[in-house]
Amino acid sequence: MTILVTGGAGFIGSNFVLDWLADLQESVVNLDKLTYSGNLKNLANLRCDPRHIFVRGDVGDRNLLAHVLDQHRPRAVINFAAESHVDRSISGPEVFINTNIVGSFCLLESVRSYWSGLPPADQTAFRFLHVSTDEVYGTLSKDAQPFAEHFRYEPNSPYSASKAASDHLVRAWHHTYGLPVLTTNCSNNYGPYHFPEKLIPLMIVNALSGKPLPVYGDGLQVRDWLYVKDHCAAIRRVLDAGRVGETYNIGGWNEKTNIEIVKTICALLDELRPKIDATSYAAQITYVTDRPGHDRRYAINARKIEQELGWRPAETFETGIRKTVQWYLDNSEWVEHVQNGSYRDWVSFQYGQEMVT
Ligand code: NAD
Ligand code: DAU
């Protein structure tokens, strides 16, 4: 048996593929465009593993999708592929529309065509799992209840609006065509292989290189942090036992202000990699102009997945953030690699195409 993962060279997707192949024998076809955030270094341990089949391609390429589906005949598709960074969506929304909306549409249509040609038992067993975000629900005031699955969609950024649109398409492909879909909406992930443009890895990497730690606005915005491996386990649980057509919110019950996160990282670095002059990394914290339209608070009510499917996060924030900081200290070569662009040269050489950035 085989599954098809899209975006499996990115942060969450690569953790998912690595964990899957560490635990299970089932092959993974990994279709990824290798944009600036997709990195085959994340999957270096699988280079000689015949269960991992990498295909460089775009979820918007329906010819390629038809070929890949026909050739590999997956029993499930897990869609991680997306443009994922809110700041980039503010400065350049178009690619978010193309990949997150049009790309998801193309993927749904290709999968629908493949699925409708399957024998009835395989059609029933098939799953299309769409990985989405808590940002589709908009922002919460300080004392509001955390996002539950029935909450209204109120996306505020070009990124979250594009993800909301894709969620609606997935829902419609189930209701209209009967495609057996599942949607997961999760909170902020952190952990290994996180591209250093997002808060946690950026702060670690900047701190170590003596750069400012840019905190947007007053730093009191709240995010609900989820260790990436817990997220991957939750996706597997939903894939195995989730009710078709349902959505599941996934979160770690770890609401923290941004400034708390940054100070925690500084304290961990002070302990694990003290500066020669014994000053704290916290001295590098710099308050900067706020993100336009910045959502104030996200928080996930994860009771549905806990009660229905018995999933619970294994990591607390304290254990997860320590592991994460240690991972970045142990993997400076990976950081250098994603920053200096040499992996892009390698990909161009390997695949004979210019990298899309
Ligand atoms: P990421 O940016 O690290 O990875 C995205 C991957 O998708 C990359 O490998 C990239 O090359 C690939 N990709 C982009 N455009 C593509 C296209 N047109 N065709 C094929 N592949 C393409 O993102 P991530 O943080 O790993 O997020 C994965 C998914 O999870 C996204 O759908 C994101 O919206 C969602 N999500 C992320 C978080 C988070 O905290 N990181 C939280 C909630 C939901
Ligand atoms: O909530 C889930 C979402 O979490 C995912 O859907 C997105 O793909 C993912 O990127 C993430 O979005 P955020 O915008 O919350 O993540 P980011 O790491 O960019 O920012 C986290 C918070 O930190 C946010 O309030 C903005 C703030 N921030 C971020 C950066 C990069 C700073 O204060 N300074 C920074 O330099």
Q: Is there an atom of ligand 1 within 6 Å of 13 CB?
A: yes
CA of 232 to the centre of ligand 2 (A): 19
Q: Is there an atom of ligand 1 within 6 Å of 38 CB?
A: yes
CA of 208 to the centre of ligand 2 (A): 20
Two tokens, residue 72: 């590999």
Is the predicted pLDDT of residue 77 greater than 60, yes or no?
Answer: yes
Ligand nearest the Cα atom of residue 255 = 2
Query: Could you tell me if residue 64 is left (phi over 0), alpha (psi between -120 and 50 degrees) or otherwise beta?
Result: alpha
For the stretch 227-269, pLDDT in tens is 999 999 999 999 999 999 999 999 999 999 999 999 999 999 9
For the stretch 187-212, pLDDT in tens is 999 999 999 999 999 999 999 999 99
Q: Is there an atom of ligand 2 within 6 Å of 229 CB?
A: no
Distance CA 21, CA 35 (A): 23
Catalytic center residues: 134-135, 159
Q: Which fold has domain 2-351?
A: Rossmann fold (3.40.50)
Pick from 30, 76, 83, 78: nearest CA to 57: 30
* pLDDT of amino acid 357: 34
Q: Which of 11, 40, 59 to mutate to test the pocket of ligand 1 (most atoms within 8 A of CB)?
A: 11
Which residue is associated with the tokens 């599941």? 248
Q: Is there an atom of ligand 2 within 6 Å of 93 CB?
A: no
